[in-house]
Amino acid sequence: MLPPRKSRTIHVRHLALGGSAPIAVQSMAATRTQDVEATLRQVRLLEDAGADLVRIAIDSKADVEALRTIRARSKALLAVDLQENYRLAELVAPHVDKLRYNPGHLHHHEKAKPVEEKVAYLVEVARRHQLALRIGVNAGSIAPAWSERYPDELDALVHSAADHCAMIDALGFSDYCVSIKDSDPRHVVEANVRFAELRPDVPLHLGVTEAGLPPDGIIKTRIAFEQLLARGLGDTLRVSLTVPFDDKGLEIETGRAILADVEAGRFRSVPPNFFQGLNIIACPSCSRVENEKFIELAQDVKALTRYATEHDLTIAVMGCRVNGPGETDDADLGLWCGPTHVNLKRGSAELGAYPYAEILARLKHELDALIAVRATARS
């Protein structure tokens, strides 16, 4: 039995989230939204796997046109991920059931406009179209105002979410939930626990972002979800895995399996050294992926770096140039994909963009150099 949850119940159309409602399992289309047939196939694949809600990324008016067609041909409950261009909300709203905005992206456009006005706009759109909202904060894109105010990253995440809740509360809107994601499951647990202490009433969407390739991606997700679900935290969840598009149903199956295990009191433990050694994080892919070779690249990076598993280093592999630079900030080596080239950085130093055929050799060169520097420092 899962412990009772203190969150209030909100609705995404007929789907209840929070309170005593069943914990919903959701996922996101990894295909380019404008490739309508591929995205519809992806939506159906996720529905067939048991998804309660399917999210789609929208960045442009052309994406909105594609969304219109997808909506007309699918009965799935659809959520949309708004990025920098939050003003697309009013175009997107007639075709979806839920909007997710990231407080860390609102400052990119209309820089002089107060954040409260931008939130009021989103709430007005949601209210007019009877949509639910998700405040989705992410460690890779914390709004600068909150990073400056809270030097501790988890504090910045938690207070960014709580402050946005307060802004929405002030507008008398209650159909919203919150997600606080990080690629480190320990941070996900800590941040969500801290947030729930401040706002036990707000439904939580759980996720470990950029969990990466199975099996590690599944283990990281399980670590976070077990801890949170067992505390009565989590009203909907999404498992993010870097897998081929046709295998995306695995995200839903994994989410349901973790839920069933926690409900039955079956917990998996990990050895104390699980978090030591080479850590590869990778995004799950979405419409913004610019070259489908990204999934293969993430798999190749894992295979190539097997010889370095005992070294405490993080390599991040991201699918696009929109979020790649920010999401690789905490890694020792970061890669993010463009249409023909892959960008590489060491710490914060950008090293350049390399063709797909050359990036693995360049990555190995940098990895060997980092290992050598650490060996010298130790001796």
Q: How many residues does the chain have?
A: 379
227 or 323, CB closer to ligand SF4?
Answer: 323
Give the shortest CB-111-to-ligand SF4 separation in angstroms. Answer: 22
Q: How far is the CB of 290 from ligand SF4 (least distance, A)?
A: 8
Query: Please, is 303 exposed, middle or buried when counting C-beta atoms within 10 Å of its C-beta (0-12, 13-18, 19+)?
Result: exposed
Least separation, in Å, of the C-beta of 210 and ligand SF4?
A: 8
Q: What is the contact surface with ligand SF4 in residues (CB under 6 A)?
A: 283-286, 288-289, 318-320, 322-324, 327
Rounded Cα distance, 219 and 225, in Å: 10
Q: How far is the CB of 378 from ligand SF4 (least distance, A)?
A: 34
Nearer to ligand SF4, 30 or 123 (CB): 30
CB 266 within 8 A of CB 225: no
The amino acid present at 334, given as its one-letter code, is G
CA distance 87 to 110: 10
Of residues 283 and 370, the one with the C-beta less far from ligand SF4: 283
Q: How far is CA 194 from the centre of its chain?
A: 19
Token readout for 24 is: 């919903």
Distance CA 324, CA 41 (A): 26
Q: To 10 degrees, what angle do helices 36-49 and 61-73 make?
A: 50
CB 56 within 8 A of CB 30: no
Task: Select 196 or 315, whichever has its Cβ closest to ligand SF4.
Answer: 315
Is the CB of 15 or the CB of 46 nearer to ligand SF4? Answer: 46
Report, in Å, the least distance between residue 363 CB and ligand SF4.
Answer: 18
Nearer to ligand SF4, 284 or 334 (CB): 284
| Closer residue to ligand SF4 in complex, CB, 133/298 | 298
Cβ 29 to ligand SF4, closest distance in Å? 10
From the list 314, 332, 307, the residue with the least C-alpha distance to 278 is 314
Angle CA(21)–CA(25)–CA(27) in degrees, nearest 5? 145
Q: Residue 163: what are its φ and ψ, rounded to 5°?
A: -65, -40
| Whole-number Å distance between alpha carbons of 1 and 180 | 25
Residue type at position 289: V
Measured from the CB of residue 168, what is the shortest distance to ligand SF4 in angstroms? 24
